[in-house]
Amino acid sequence: MPTLYFNLEDWSLILKINLILSLIFSCIALFFVSLVLYLRILKNIKESHRKHLEARFIDFVNAFLFDETINKSKALGDFKYSYIKSSYDHKILIKQILIFDENLKGESSLLIKEIFYGLGLYKFLLEDLQGYRWYYKARAMFAFSKLGIEVPENYVYPLLQSKRVELRQHAILYFLNTSKTDPLVFLDNLEGRLTLWQQVLIENSLKSFEVEIPDFARWLDHHEDSIVVFCIKMILSFNQFQNIPLLVDCLDHDAEEVRYQAIQSLQTMEVSEALQLMLTHFPEETAQNKRSILYAIKKMGTYKDLQTLVPHIHKEDENLQVDFYKISRCFEDQIPVKSILNIETLSKDWEDFQEYSMQQSIGA
């Protein structure tokens, strides 16, 4: 051994550094190999445990559902204290409960919910809702929503204001799944913007679920413009024609997007009585809304209606001029637009056309 010591002393600095680095990298490699093996073994153990617990649970559910001699309270207690030892066990059983609930109806579905409560899964998910991790909350809301199980509102309403899109969407789905008579009650307390994706989600859910369709006029005075826009769309989608007067009132709304949607919906519903108000608002409207009013005239108006707007389409509004030209051609039986206007020189000739149009109006 002393000989080795003296031999090492005789090594050059480079050799000593190489030896030290080799030992370090060997230790690191050994550590990672050991870690991979450990994680693999742990995964196999968890997988084996999962399969064993699932098999036990399936047997338990079958006995609970179909064995009339079973003492249900005792069976629930025995299973709970024998097999549910960790949060991982709770997660496995919640997943199985969701699978059973999706495939069972009627009395069997009620018994599945009895198992859900009896095994403490409701309490487990409620604790997740009270926690700080958003993905635990999302998982809990998903389970409650799928099972149609109600939880205290003070746990759910804060999620509607969450910065996490996932939490807001799960909260919306929860209300749609659990409230059959007032599924959109959450709109009363919604502070943030209702995104287009959320609007589509709500509409599809209302059409798919067995819920009572609310009167969307309830939210036409909501402080959040995106909710008002959504409700205008839904009044059209669900043919709530009794609310047409309220849609006409929306033409005076402060928000451009609300007025735009009101114009679009009234045009689709062919409410010709609203056209005069649209024409009155045209000079002060935005370019997008002016364009919508032009197309409303195409569907519900006359060339005279279109002619009244010519003075309010300015020379620099080239896109509006093109829209005007296209729509004017629908009234060629009243005026030969193609012989008066050339699409290629439209902007250049627009002021002359305005003067011509005014003379025609005076002559009429």
Tens digit of each residue's pLDDT (9 = 90 or more) over 15-30: 778 878 888 998 999 9
What is the torsional sign of CA 326, 327, 333, 339?
Answer: negative
Can you tell me the mean pLDDT for 112-133? 92
Q: What pLDDT score does 131 carry?
A: 86
Where are the chain's structural domains? 45-119, 302-364
Report which of residues 126 and 337 the model is more confident about.
Answer: 126
Residue with tokens 């010591």, as numbered in its chain: 5
pLDDT at 338 over 70: no
The per-residue b/e assignment along 325-337, b for 16 or more CB within 10 angstroms, e otherwise, is bebbeebeeebeb
What is the average pLDDT value for the chain, to the nearest integer? 87
Lowest average pLDDT, out of 13-17, 61-65, 140-144, goes to 13-17
pLDDT digits (tens, 9 = 90+) for 42-59: 888 888 888 999 999 999
Burial class (CB in 10 A: 0-12, 13-18, 19+), 5: exposed
Q: State the pLDDT confidence band at 342, using cuts at 50, 70 and 90.
A: low
pLDDT digits (tens, 9 = 90+) for 146-180: 998 999 988 999 998 888 888 999 999 999 888 87
| Distant-in-sequence, close-in-space partners of 256: CB < 8 Å, separation ≥ 6 | 286, 288, 289
pLDDT at 360 over 70: no
Residue with tokens 């799928």, as numbered in its chain: 146
Residue with tokens 């509607």, as numbered in its chain: 160
pTM for this prediction:
0.77
Q: State the pLDDT confidence band at 105, using cuts at 50, 70 and 90.
A: confident
**147 vs 117, 202, 329, 339, 348, CA distance in Å?**
12, 18, 57, 67, 66
Tokens of 249: 């009132």
Q: In whole angstroms, what is the distance from residue 113 CA to residue 122 CA?
A: 9
Report which of residues 314 and 207 the model is more confident about.
Answer: 207
Q: In whole angstroms, what is the distance from residue 257 CA to residue 229 CA?
A: 7
Q: What is the dihedral of CA 72, 75, 81, 83, to 10 degrees?
A: -120
Q: In whole angstroms, what is the distance from residue 97 CA to residue 122 CA?
A: 11
Report which of residues 156 and 8 the model is more confident about.
Answer: 156
pLDDT at 138 over 70: yes
Q: What pLDDT score does 4 carry?
A: 46
Q: What is the dihedral of CA 72, 76, 77, 79, to 10 degrees?
A: 130
The Cβ of residue 306 has, within 10 Å, a number of other Cβ atoms equal to 23
